[in-house]
Amino acid sequence: MLLNYFLTILSSPMAVMTLGKVVSHPMPSLYEQSRLFDLEVDGEKMHTVSYAQYDYAHLSMDGGHSTIFRVTALGEEEITSYSISPHRLNINARVDGNELIFSLAEPRYLIIKINSVKEFVVLVDPTETAVPNIKDDDVYNVLDYGADNTGESLNDGIQNALDAAGKHPGSTVYVPKGLYLAPNLKIRNHTSLYLASGAVLRFTGHSADYETMYTKSDLGPGTWWIQTEFDSTDIKVYGRGVLDGNGKYTRDNDFMNDILVPAGTKNFECDGILVRDSGFWAVTPIQVEDATLTNIKILNRLDVTQDDGIDVVESQRVRVKRSIAIANDDSYSTKTWPYKTGTTVPYPYPPRRQDDVVFDDCFAWTGCMGFKVGQGVHEHQDNIRFQNSAIYKAGVGIAVHHLFGNSTASNITFEDIEIERLAGSPGGFASWLLLIIQEGGRGVGSVEDIVVRNILARTQGSRPGFIQGYNDKVKVDGVTLSNIYMYANATPATTLEEMNILNTNYSEDIDIDNSLLGGIVGPIIHT
């Protein structure tokens, strides 16, 4: 009976017409409101944040309801041009003076460009489920452990709560709304860290406040800001709060930080958090087995070098799903490194191979490469997939860049990806596709069995692409290119020349196979 009742409600048109819930995540006190954009969602005003090369807004909404978004470009008389990315969502908008109006039925991460104003990034998450109850016995409120939610003082309150929770497996540390300066933090075995909407942990930017854990030869000293305990299992970091790396300031002070480092841990989960302004690679699963990262938003600056979004390192069975990563350096990449060298000094274990990593429904904006395997291939990297994703802008769209190490990168698939724009030339490369082996002074190794399928390259880049090995023995071997659509062409490219891939020395078994046309062309092929 009850089931029938629910089914009736779900299928009744009335239920569809009711408004879904919309939550504007509060703007922390240290951020300024955007002076360029207002955002109203279903008639409710959202917080909009003034930031670096783009402004943004963060909210959550229920899926399954048509929800009206109204973006006002405050400094513009009228909107004469606009784009809403990912284009593959085909969002129809209308203009009313200086307002752009559209609706979403599902939560999405969008990059909106209006006239020549800087971009407005609209981050819409699904409504939170399973919010911990702060009154429960197994929930540890950091305020009960001396944490300062005014952002005035740096203290051990949060770590004390993490340590207390660590004594009770299955418990959760709760960070309520507020601004917290945070030192190095270690999340304990079998515990969760929950960041409530409006909670911001902030890195101070001063090396004296942190443990120097490694020194990178070209950049200097750095730290893992928030890490998991080694040899741990079942750690989760979630909520709609913010981890603010204060990275530009940190780098100006000759220090750097990885923001969230699950390392030497199993069954790791991360969901819903917003990571901002990293001073080095932002989120880096290192030597992790079985990890799921969902709804992670990386908002790095476009003027901090080497501030990658999500880098998966020497891990097995990692899923990154429904994410956006904006960064000056690579948005999403996978790497393996040498033992105890520079940034790998704090790694828990000797080098491990990377196996079975999937990036699904990810959205990249970067000055470097959107989706990349490399540059480190010191251990075998095998079975890596990037799928169902989009690039707003990049220097190089998709890449296997084997620059360091003598191991093999194999069985790598890029599928259902739209590359909207390319600009710049990181490392001298400027193409939609780069599969290359180079010698960076630490050995060379081969690249094998690559599939590039169902790609829309809206632009080819200002330089020819590469499918190029190193020499007669170290080759790029086995590349299948299927359904590669260049520009707005209605038919897929049939030659490497049409794809502008003109550098093919030391490669073999390159196959262009469009026989799947009409099969899984998927949602990205539209005119």
- To ligand NAG, the closest distance from the beta carbon of 406 in angstroms equals 4
DSSP 370-408: EEEEEEEESS-EEEEEEEEEEEEEBSEEEEEEEEE-SS-
2 CB burial (10 A radius; 0-12, 13-18, 19+): exposed
CA distances from 119 to 83, 116, 360 (A): 10, 9, 24
If the CB atoms of residues 342 and 443 are measured against ligand NAG, the closer one turns out to be 443
Tokens representing 403 are 């620059």
CB atoms under 10 Å from CB of 423, counted, come to 12
Q: Is residue 352 within 8 Å of 314, Cβ to Cβ? A: yes
- To ligand NAG, the closest distance from the beta carbon of 111 in angstroms equals 28
User: Within 13 Å and on the Cβ side, how many CA atoms surround 188?
Assistant: 18
- To ligand NAG, the closest distance from the beta carbon of 189 in angstroms equals 4
If the CB atoms of residues 229 and 308 are measured against ligand NAG, the closer one turns out to be 229
If the CB atoms of residues 203 and 386 are measured against ligand NAG, the closer one turns out to be 386
Tokens representing 125 are 């998450």
Cβ neighbours of residue 327 closer than 8 Å, sequence gap 6 or more: 278, 282, 298, 300, 302, 307, 308, 309, 365, 366, 367, 368
Asked if 459 interacts with ligand NAG (CB under 6 A), we say: no
Which segment (80-88, 210-218, 405-413, 453-461) binds ligand NAG by CB under 6 A?
405-413
If the CB atoms of residues 467 and 486 are measured against ligand NAG, the closer one turns out to be 467
Asked if 503 interacts with ligand NAG (CB under 6 A), we say: yes
If the CB atoms of residues 278 and 507 are measured against ligand NAG, the closer one turns out to be 507
What is the pattern of x (binds ligand NAG, CB under 6 A) and - over residues 262-301? Answer: ----------------------------------------
- To ligand NAG, the closest distance from the beta carbon of 444 in angstroms equals 9
User: Within 13 Å and on the Cβ side, how many CA atoms surround 521?
Assistant: 14
Q: Is residue 287 within 8 Å of 347, Cβ to Cβ? A: yes
Total of residues contacting ligand NAG (CB under 6 A) = 14
- To ligand NAG, the closest distance from the beta carbon of 290 in angstroms equals 13
Question: What is the DSSP code (8-state) at residue 343?
Answer: G
Among 55, 125, 229, 289, indicate the residue that binds ligand NAG (CB under 6 A): 229
- To ligand NAG, the closest distance from the beta carbon of 407 in angstroms equals 7
Asked if 189 interacts with ligand NAG (CB under 6 A), we say: yes
What are 455's strand-pairing partners?
417, 484
Cβ neighbours of residue 197 closer than 8 Å, sequence gap 6 or more: 23, 25, 26, 60, 128, 177, 239, 240, 241
Which segment (138-146, 224-232, 281-289, 321-329) binds ligand NAG by CB under 6 A?
224-232
Distance of CA 240 to the CA centre of its chain: 15
Asked if 385 interacts with ligand NAG (CB under 6 A), we say: yes
Among 21, 33, 505, 513, indicate the residue that binds ligand NAG (CB under 6 A): 505
Which segment (30-38, 56-64, 228-236, 479-487) binds ligand NAG by CB under 6 A?
228-236
Site residues (CB under 6 A) for ligand NAG, limited to 406-445? 406, 411, 413, 443
Residues at the interface with ligand NAG (CB under 6 A): 189-190, 229, 231-233, 383, 385, 406, 411, 413, 443, 503, 505
